[in-house]
A and B are shown apart, each in its own frame.
Chain A
């Protein structure tokens, strides 16, 4: 079982969390101009990185917040955590 550090609650067991897949996928805003190719890419295609992977988790049985983590998909070791939107907020 993985031990995951929720940015709010600290270290908790994996069973308290749900995985949310690849991070930083941005929903296209100009939907009506998108080609089938671009839609397919956005909806289905994934990096599925071997190595350091930026991904989303949610602390479902805890504080129910989403956050982004960097994890090595070979060793499953977590390298960093950040609150969701922390990036966006810094930029704006």
Chain B
């Protein structure tokens, strides 16, 4: 990397008044042809490009993005990272991702501010207590850390919590290795590292059609003309069905608005991530001091990157009930993203019936945590034209052969 960040580059650039930092990545014009064209420069698309170049030695790669790099869900999420999913297939996939997170800043030479401050999933009913304990046991069996915490321990971790709400807190699971990362930095870090390996990142370049011939992919029509490609890998989150339709493929996906909001910055009061399925709310505090709060999906499908007010209201009611002391904190900003929801709350990372066409989608409300892992297995799938063992179970075929992986329990509040 010509532009490597280090203590020496900090000093050197400091001495020149920080006016000589190089560009983090190029903005090239697209070539006429690539070995692999990746559609969508979100976290997953950029991670895919990076691992394709780095691990599989593919050099001739373009990432095409209709808007700006990192303008989609990758920079709209609430940045929760955890791997405590119930089923073996998902636990292994998310755990792979967790392990990549643990070395990511070093690997990318970019500080993604991954902070393992712990993720607390609260249980408010006896059934939730049983389900949570079952999940902790399943997690440990899969080598994923997790522990049961009593209401008193919950209070020690989060002193401002009100345990005796309408649905009293009966305990919870704690994954200490879980936490948060800075989402923009994840997009930028992967972009910069992929660019350094020769990947062309092309922004303002919407894909408008996927050309196929004789059951094989030929390339894509874009806002910048036709681009030929041996392989096309689609990673467009909320727009997956739109791209699938271009190739004549059907997906079991519905796109829903999902909203989040942040407060004005306040002194540190929440030192971990707290999630509650029962009252449907989750909250963490950013390093700046903003309280980061996530709502649920809107019931209707939509592509508008905004949702309805009552979804926000519902979440804020739950937050205020759990943390009465926050009732007068002002909210600064609120926004929405479009998430791609599957019937079993699990992703699709898969080959398709069209040769050379791959889809990675369906991460729904919880794919940020999977960013490095998703890129890792998708790159393998594209390079070898065969799934990696970790994503073999996540093919489109499962909706035809019935091998669904129902993660609604672990993914319900979903982030």
Contacts and interface: CB of A to CB of B under 8 A. Distances in A.
Contacts of A44: 252, 343, 399
B299 to A, nearest CB: 4
A53 B301 contact: yes
A15 B401 CA distance: 37
B400 A50 contact: no
A50 B399 contact: no
B254 A36 contact: no
Contacts of B300: 2, 19, 55, 71, 76
B337 to A, nearest CB: 15
Contact of B301 (A15, A39, A40, A73): A73
Given A44-B399, A48-B241, A73 B250 contact: no
A40 B249 CA distance: 13
Given A36-B400, A46-B252, A2 B308 contact: yes
Nearest to B404: A44
Contact of A75 (B250, B251, B304, B401): B304
A21 interface: yes
Interface string B153-189: 0000000000000000000000000000000000000
B303 A40 contact: no
B400 A46 contact: no
A90 to B, nearest CB: 27
Interface residues of A, number: 27
A1 B310 contact: yes
B400 A48 contact: no
B255 interface: yes
A46 B253 contact: yes
B309 A1 contact: yes
Contacts of A49: 241
Contacts of A75: 304
Interface string B367-409: 0000000000000000000000000000000011110000000
Given A14-B308, A73-B302, A46 B401 contact: no
Contacts of B242: 50
Contacts of B399: 40, 43-45
B230 interface: no
A91 interface: no
A49 to B, nearest CB: 8
A45 B241 CA distance: 10
A80 interface: no
Interface in A34-91: 36-37, 39-41, 43-50, 53, 55, 71, 73-76
| Residue among B255, B300, B304 with max Cβ neighbours from chain A (10 Å) | B300
A74 B304 contact: yes
B59 interface: no
Given A1-B308, A14-B308, A45 B250 contact: yes
Contacts of A1: 308-310
Given A41-B250, A44-B252, A45-B252, A50 B303 contact: yes
Nearest to A75: B304
A24 to B, nearest CB: 15
Interface of B: 239, 241-242, 250-255, 299-304, 308-310, 343, 399-402
Query: Which 5 residue pairs of A and B lie closest in terms of their CB atoms, listed nearest first?
Result: A48-B241, A44-B252, A40-B400, A45-B250, A19-B299
14 contacts: A1-B308, A1-B310, A14-B310, A21-B254, A40-B399, A44-B343, A46-B241, A46-B250, A48-B251, A53-B301, A73-B255, A74-B302, A75-B304, A76-B302
